[in-house]
Amino acid sequence: MATTNNPVTPTPWLGRYTIDANRSSITFRTRHFFQLLPAKGAFAIRGGTVEVAEPLAESSLAVEVDAAGFRTGNAQRDQHVRSEAFLDVTRHPLITFASGSVDATAVSGTLTVRDVSRPVSLAIEHAEVSAETFTVRATARIDRHDFGVSASRLMAGRFLDMTFEVTCVRR
């Protein structure tokens, strides 16, 4: 198994992969309560696909995240974030990401939250590649206000420092 940190990321075998939701995670860190206290949590990945192509720039990625899978370990806060004031999971059950460009250091694409789509770039920090799987860890800073999630401006952190740990299995 090849392991690396940037700037040289190993390339998986060409082909189609499925994201293994049970071995993948999306976590975040932010600040709340007037930016005084840290908060962390996770989103549940519903599924997705990755197509590794040659050249790598022609590869693609599509991920679906279950908005109701938001969790921080605080039931009251989690319920509030799932409400109309924030994610509005009843009307917007999915958060999606679709790649626009891929290279050895980043995946750029479109993130859609609450039917608001914005460009986002995920910086690849680590990759492990084997014959049938690959795992990538990438990070991004997301401004929730860009997606219309602007309730509780003083109590809830504006920026989420996201970490994506995604394991893909060759089909």
Question: What domain range is 40 assigned to?
Answer: 2-170
Instruction: Please report, for the domain that includes residue 132, its CATH number.
Output: 2.40.128.110
pTM of this structure: 0.88
For residue 153, count CB atoms less than 10 angstroms from its CB and return exposed for 0-12, middle for 13-18, buried for 19 or more.
Answer: exposed
pLDDT tens digits, residue range 78-132?
999 999 989 999 999 999 999 999 998 999 999 999 999 999 999 999 999 998 9
Number of domains in the chain: 1
